Amino acid sequence: MASVKKLVSQLSRRGPHRVLRGDMAVVGLPGIVYTPEAGSDLPGIAFGHGWLTHSRQYIGTLEHLASWGIVVAVPDTERGPLASDRALAADLGTALEVISSVRLGPGRITVHPERLGLAGHGLGASAAVLAAGDSDRARSLAALFPAPTSPAVLPAAHRARVPALVLAAPDDLDGVTSNALAIRRSLQGDQVALRTVPKASNRGLVEGFSIRKRLGDDSDQKKTQRATRAALTGFLLATLGDPGRRRAVQGDATYAAFADPSQDIGKLVTVDPDTVEDPDVDQLTRLLRR
């Protein structure tokens, strides 16, 4: 079996599949679907975008997942300044329903109804947690640099009971801009990991131009994107299965380390939430110190 280091190197590059793109608006939900060129009983996820962002600002990450045989649906809803995490969570659930109930692309692509997952970034990560807590359709959850939204997120995390990956910036585990530690503490089960991405910021996953980038939010970090894509791809293959093994619903053992909380993945460090001291200052004070 290949070492974790070798697998990280492989998964940081595009996979073997040619990628197709489709429009979910034809079924009444604004958004985009990325798929490999062909495949039956594939794993599929719904991906939630961050605050004031659009699906096109994650193209590299979404195409990367599809190139490894994972179908990705991204609703382009709740993009305004008053975006609702609850409404986006409902749209993520709809997106899972769409990709698992119809043939995609030229009719040669299907998603297995028991190989469904939820993922998201920032606001979309919290929406993914809400969707996972309110539905039993998803078999895995990835919260990428989650941002605090509503009080309902942590109870939903406790209800989710699925393998989960939480990624965060090393210096922003919990506070005004991140609830990664709180989500990790609320999640239950043996396959739940909080990992930090070195030298990352919470907005580093966002690609290209954005209004927030113009305001200096430090987005579009290539190293953050490469590390996140490798960790996310390995986690989804570990929990949703290798698309080359059509009859096996369980995850692919090749990538088991990516869902193992005791393992560091490349330069990503796994954080034990019990060893993290609670901050001794309130959130407003921490914000003013930044």
Residues 166, 162: Cα–Cα separation, whole Å: 12
Q: Residues 105, 102, 11, 177: what is their CA dihedral angle, to the nearest 10 degrees? A: 110
Residue identified by tokens 């490469």 is 226
3-state secondary structure at position 242: coil
pLDDT of the residue at 251: 60
Domain spanning 4-289: which superfamily? Alpha/Beta hydrolase fold, catalytic domain (3.40.50.1820)
Residue 78 has pLDDT above 60, yes or no: yes
Residue identified by tokens 């409404």 is 87
pLDDT band (50, 70, 90) for residue 167: very high
Residue 248 has pLDDT above 50, yes or no: no
Q: Indicate the domain borders of the chain.
A: 4-289
Helix or strand (DSSP H, E) at 281: none
pLDDT band (50, 70, 90) for residue 246: very low
- Residue 249 φ/ψ, nearest 5 degrees: -85, -30
Largest CA distance in the chain: 56
pLDDT band (50, 70, 90) for residue 275: confident
Residues 102, 28: Cα–Cα separation, whole Å: 14
Residue 278 has pLDDT above 60, yes or no: yes
Tell me the whole-structure pTM to 2 decimals.
0.89
Whole-angstrom Cα Rg for the chain? 17
pLDDT of the residue at 279: 59
pLDDT tens digit sequence for 204-219 = 999 975 554 554 555 5
User: Among 94-108, 165-179, 190-204, whose mean pLDDT is lowest?
Assistant: 94-108
pLDDT of the residue at 28: 84
Inter-helix orientation angle 222-240/4-11, to 10°: 110
pLDDT band (50, 70, 90) for residue 155: very high
Provide the percentage of residues in the chain whose pLDDT is more than 70.
Answer: 87
